[in-house]
Chain A
Amino acid sequence: MNIPAELKYTKSHEWIRREDDGTVTVGITDHAQEALGDIVFLDLPDAGRVVAAGEECAVVESVKAASDIYAPVAGEIVAANDAALDAPESVNADAYANWLFKLKPANAADVDALLDAAAYAEIAADD
């Protein structure tokens, strides 16, 4: 299973990368894209939207199912990946390169509390 060690994770299969500018980049894990199958549609949040931790803020739809994507921590959306919007299948091809949105956390420490790769690997293995 492809679970990069340097990323943080959620139980709901998002990955989170800390950026130098204090924002975080969010996508879905390789395990999640494989479970969903061919992805054909993304609905991404607008920049400026303020979200609570665990709030539904994006949708990934494959041929077979729709899956809600949750904000991993509270904060403000600063960008959505328009390139992925136009090519949803890119998330299947590389779920870690093709992120969904960037968020400025309200509290940077919230990110530390997310799952590390080892903890997520256990969750994904049980899935």
Chain B
Amino acid sequence: MARCTPLHAVHVAAGARMVDFAGWDMPVNYGSQIEEHHAVRSDAGMFDVSHMLALDLTGADATPFLRTLLANDVAKLTVPGKALYSCMLNAEGGVIDDLIVYYFAPDKFRIVVNAGTADKDVARMRKQIARTGANVSLDAHRDLAMIAVQGPNARAKTWHAIPGSESASAGLKPFFAAQVGDMLIARTGYTGEDGFEITLPAAQAPALWNALSAAGVAPCGLGARDTLRLEAGMNLYGQDMDEATSPLNAGLSWTVDMKDIDRNFIGRAALETSPASQKVIGLVLLERGVLRAHQTVFTDAGEGETTSGTFSPTLQQAIAFARVPLELAEGSTVEVDIRGKRLRARTVKLPFVRNGQALI
């Protein structure tokens, strides 16, 4: 039996097409995925992301614990409310999950992990706490809901929907969060647009969803979430990287912080002995067709493989992420095996789209 978020009944009542996602019964669209995509690029859309898990890590050893647990360095978080994107690696340097960690105080952090990996992540963190004897406590919050409001008008419409929220959140810079009453309002997202991710008590979620809808924010499903993040050049765990993938081969080197040579985070030794062997680039198909995951890419420098692909509603062309040999020159033309036919594609720098603008 699939799990339901606090907004499940709202989605069903709205006529959403529901699908299983990582064991959760989630909306894939409310009619047209493409219209939802455009709503986020041009105005404002909202996503139920309550299937993701929020964890609170508190205690005297919270900072040193996270500096060992995560490949990015929480020591660079010094201003309360600041968020950091990081991978959690295994000892072999593979990606157990990618997550966001919010800093409130040296002994107080909020971590948000993926739905499909939540149980494994929590088990891993608890094991690490037990192994190190760190003075921390980890609290998983299944009593919370999360709504992502994204798009150029997302913040203004959120302020309209939540009386009193503007004064507390108008000054937030990207990748900062503020507590507003019962809500944590973060200026983060997974679409390449401005907006907020709002965490709040589960019981309050339907009322906020309806208020946002009344303020003109379009309900959007996982379908649009996937095309938006792909255009924005953002990885999806389980598709673009997993436990067998080094972050250095998944386009995530920028999230691995090696600066402090004394910080022996889990997976560091493995990354130091196995430098990147591939790089991630964008592909734009030059012929008719649609790029998908796991298609073979033929290049002058050797073969590669797509990890995610779709039809881009903004560019009106097929796009993909591909892992290719390091030597492949930027701007090369390559061939992709699509259902037995070799079609030409151009390599581009990621992202494809940012803040409503095509970048390729």
Contacts and interface: CB of A to CB of B under 8 A. Distances in A.
Interface string B242-260: 0000000000000000000
A119 interface: no
Contacts, number: 39
B32 A38 contact: yes
B290 interface: yes
B288 interface: yes
A66 B339 contact: yes
Interface residues of B, number: 18
Nearest to B224: A63
A103 B311 CA distance: 30
A38 B33 contact: yes
Contacts of A37: 17, 28-29, 32-33, 223
Given A63-B227, A63-B310, A63-B311, A40 B29 contact: no
Interface in A31-77: 34, 37-38, 40-41, 43, 59, 61, 63-64, 66
Contact of B313 (A34, A61, A63, A92): A63
Contact of B339 (A34, A38, A59): A59
Contact of B223 (A63, A66, A92): A63
B292 interface: yes
Q: Which of B292, B310, B311 has most A Cβ within 10 Å?
A: B311
B34 A63 contact: yes
B302 interface: no
B289 interface: yes
A41 B339 contact: no
B29 A41 contact: no
Contacts of B292: 66
Contacts of A40: 290, 311
A38 B33 CA distance: 7
B21 to A, nearest CB: 12
Contacts of A43: 289, 339
A64 B339 contact: no
A68 to B, nearest CB: 9
Interface string B320-349: 000000000000000000010000000000
Given A63-B227, A66-B290, A41 B311 contact: yes
A78 B32 CA distance: 33
A112 to B, nearest CB: 33
Contact of A38 (B34, B226, B289): B34
A63 B33 contact: yes
A64 B339 CA distance: 16
B223 A41 contact: no
A64 B37 CA distance: 13
A46 B199 CA distance: 53
Contact of A61 (B223, B226, B290): B290
Interface string B13-39: 000010000000000110011100000
Interface in B144-177: none
Contacts of B17: 34, 37
A66 B293 CA distance: 12
Q: Which 7 A-B pairs have the closest CB atoms?
A: A40-B311, A38-B34, A61-B290, A41-B290, A38-B33, A63-B311, A37-B33
20 contacts: A37-B17, A37-B29, A37-B32, A38-B32, A38-B33, A38-B34, A40-B290, A40-B311, A41-B290, A41-B311, A41-B318, A43-B339, A63-B223, A63-B227, A63-B311, A64-B33, A64-B226, A64-B310, A66-B292, A66-B339
